[in-house]
Structure 1
Amino acid sequence: MPTTQPTLPEAAAAAIPLHVPTAHQWLSSTTGRIAPDGYSWMQAVCWAHLDNTYRPNRGHGPQHIGNTTLRVAVELARLAPCRPGVDYLVRVLKLSKRTVQYHLGILREAGLLTYQAKGTRVRGEGGRASEFIWTIPAAFDTALHLITRVCDRYIRALQGIADAGRATMKRLAKMARKLMRRPRRSRPTGPSGKRPSSAPRCTPMEGGSSTSSSAATTTSPSESKLETGNRHAPAPKKTRKARKLNAVGRRHQLAYELIQQVPWLHRAAVPRIAWVIQDVADAGWTAEEVIAVINEQAPTRTVHRPSGFLARRLAGALRRFDTPAKRQALVTWWRDSREAERARHVEWEGAWQAPRSRAVTRLVRQAINAVRHSDAPAGRPVEQDDQALTDDQLQVLRETAHQAFLAGDTGLVTSTVAFRGRVEAERIYGAELVGRALRLRSASSHLKVGAGL
C-alpha cells in the first residue's frame, strides 16, 4: 500500500470535516444508512481513508484514517454480527490494546460504526463485547452522487448512482476487494528466518558455498525404473470432499438455524424441533421460508411450549406453499411488511423483567409509592414505604434507567408508564427519556427510531 495519502477529487470540492459526536454514535440517533454487507461497508471505509477529512477532537493518538484503521476495518467486515472483542482484535492483528481502542473510536467518530449494544460486565456472566452496526455516512452518498430511497430495513437503500460518481465507485470497489482478499499463508520458517530443509538443496550448473559437493552422493536411478518410475513413491494426497447431509442431518441443521434466529425458540431442544419441521425440511425449505410462515399470523406475547406453537404455525403450510415461487413471494412479503418487521422485534418473554439489583428494585418501589402518595385523594388509604425518595435517590434511578435504555432495555421506563401512566413516569425519569423509550419500544424499524430523536 502506498505511503503517501491519496485524495479524491470530490473531497477537495466538499472539504467538510468528517466527525460524528458521541451522542450520534448509536443506531437510534445515527444519520447514516446501514450497510447491507461488509463489502459495501469497506467501500465507504476506503472512501473515508482517501477523502482524508476526518479530524479528531483529541490531541493524542492517531489523527487520521490510516493503514492500521483499514486492517481493523477488514476484520470487522468479516464478522456477522459485528461483535468484536478487543482481546480478539489484539490477538488477530498483533496490535496493542490501546491501538485497537483508538482505531475503533476513529471508525465510530467517522460515522462508519454505530453502537447497537455497548459492552458491559454482568455479574455472574462475565464481560460482553460491544455489538456494532456497519453504517455509511451521508457524506459518502453526497460525494459519490448516490441516489437513495427510504427503506424500513436499512434506513436508506441505494437506488442508483449518477455518472459523476461511477469512476470513483469503481476505484473504491477495487480497493475494497483487494483489502478483503485473505492473504496467502506463508511457509513456516525456522529460528533464523530461513525455511527448514531436511536435505541439502542441489543446484546444478551453479556453484555453492558448501565445501562438500552434494553431487558426489547422488546416485542415478536404474534403467529399469526410468520408464515406469519408482513403485514405492508416495501417493498424491486426495482432497477430502465436503460431507453431504442426509435427510436427518438436514432436519437438524434447519432446526439449529431456527433456534438461533427465532427468539422464542432459544430454549428449545434441537432434536425436538427437528422432529416438528421434518416435513418442510424434507421438502427443501430454508430457515427464512419457515420464519416467513411463522410470522404470517399475528405474533403472541408469550409462548409456553415452543415446539407445539411452531407445529401449530406450520400446520398446512406445506400444502399452501407447495412451489418455490410461492415460498419466495411469502419471503418477499415478510421482508417488506411493517407488521412482520414489528413482529421480529416483539419481546416474547414478556414486556418487562424485574431488575436483578435489589437496590434498584427498592428505588423503583419507593418511586411508585411516592407518586401514588402524592396523587392519592383525601380519605383514601395509601401504601406507605420506608421513606420518600430523596433527590440523590431519584438521580440514581434516572441514571439507571438511562443506562438501561442505552443498552436497549426500556422495561424500567415502560413498566412505570403502564403502571402509573405517562405523566407520572415523566415526573420520575424526565419527559425526554420517557419519550425515547416509548418510541424505541413501538418503532417498526430503525428508521423511525432515528427520525424521532
Structure 2
Amino acid sequence: MPTTHQWLHTTTGRITTCAHSWMQAVHWVHGSGIYTSPHTDGPRAMNDTTLAIAQEISALKECRPGIAYLARKTKVSERSVKYHLRMLREAGLLVYRSKGTRVRGEGNQASVYERTIPTVFDTALGIRTTGEGVQRRPVGAAPEHRPLLGKLAKKAARKTRRRPRRTPVSGRTRCTPMQVGTSGTSSADRTYSPPESKLASGPSKSPTPKKSNRGPRTLNKVGRRYQFGKEAVTTIPWLHGASVPRVSWVLKDFSDAGWTVREVQAVAESIPMPAHGVRRPSGMLADRLRGKAGMTATMRAGYVTMWEESRAAAKDRHTGFDDAPVAGPRSLAARRAIDEAFAAIREHLAPGNAPVDESPLALEDLTKQQVVDMRVDAMKNPSLIFLAIEMRGEVYARRLYTNRLVDQTLALEAINARRDTLAPAF
C-alpha cells in the first residue's frame, strides 16, 4: 500500500471490530506471502518478530504504541520495531490517525494508529460486509473458506513467541570420531571401549584428593556495614528491636572509618538519655552522631573513657546506697528543707497534739464526706494514722486513710528514727 493510502481518511480497508479478528488478518498476510518489502533495508517479508509486535499492538486499548515500549516488550532493537511497523502499514494492517511529532524543547508524541483489515483479505476469504468506507462491518463468509477462518482463529488465539537466535558455529573442525574431513592420522578415529576387566571398582579414596583452597569468607564494604549494624543493635540496649538495615545505613560512614560499637555507644550516650525512653532509636542515633564520623581515634578514646567512668560511678551509687551511712545532702537548701520537714513531723507526733476523741469508729458508720474529711485531717496531722494503727490495726488504717497516706507516714517515721540513730553525739 503506498504512503498516501496509509492514513485513516485515504485507506481502502475497514477498521477492525476486535483485536482477535485483526490478528486473523495479520496471520493470513504473514502466511500467504502476498506482501514483500520493496525496500533495500530491513526484513524482506513478515516473520515471527512481526507477529510478536502485532500481538503487543492488539493488546493495547488505545493503539498508540511507543517505539521504546515495543522494543522492550519484544526484546528487539528500536530500528527493528520501525521496520516491522512499516511493513504492517504497507500491508494495510495499520493506518495513521495522527502522526507523531518531534518538537524541540517538548516531549516527543507517539503516533496514533487504527487497526484495519485490508480489502484483499475480505476478497480472498469471501467475507461479506455492510456499510461504507472504513466503517464497514462483516456480516458473513463463504462456506468454502470457513475452515481456513477457523485455523486463523486458532493462530490468533495462540501467543506468538519469537524463536531464539541461533549462535553461529565456529569455523574450526570438530575433533570428534564422526567428523567428516578430519585427518586420518588422528587418534580419535581409532577409539574403542575398554574391556570388562578394566571396569572394576577402583579404590574408595582417590590417590590425589582435591585440596580446597577456599578459606574464610571475606566481607566487602557493604557486608561489613551490615555486620557492624547488627552488632550495634545487639550490643547497645536502647537499639534493641531497631531495623538492622536502617542502623547499618546510619553507621555506614562510621563502619568505613574503623569505629567500634563501644565508641559509637560512648559518643551517642555522651548526652544524657531521655527519661521517657527512646521511641525511634535509629533517628536518635543519627541525630547524635551527625557530623562526628571524622573524629580521630584519640578523641574517640576520650569519649570511651568518660563513658566508662560515668557508668562505673552510677553503678557504685546504686550498689552502695543501702550499705553506706547516710550523710545527708551537701546542699544547704536541701538540708534546711529536710530539717523543716522533720520538725513538722516531731511537732505532729508530740503527745500534746493528740486528738481529744480517741474512740475508733467503724467504717460502715461513716459517710463519704466524713471519710474525705478524716483523710484531709490525716494529711495535716499524721498522728491520726498512728493512733488508728495502734487502736484498730494497720488494715483498718489502710482502709480508712488509703495505702498511700499510710506508706508515706511510715516512711517518714523510719527516716526520722534512722536520722536520730546516726546523728553524731556532741
Q: TM-score, normalised by structure 2?
A: 0.37
Larger RCO, structure (CA 8 Å, separation 6 or more): 1
Q: TM-score, normalised by structure 1?
A: 0.35
Q: Which structure: larger Rg?
A: 2
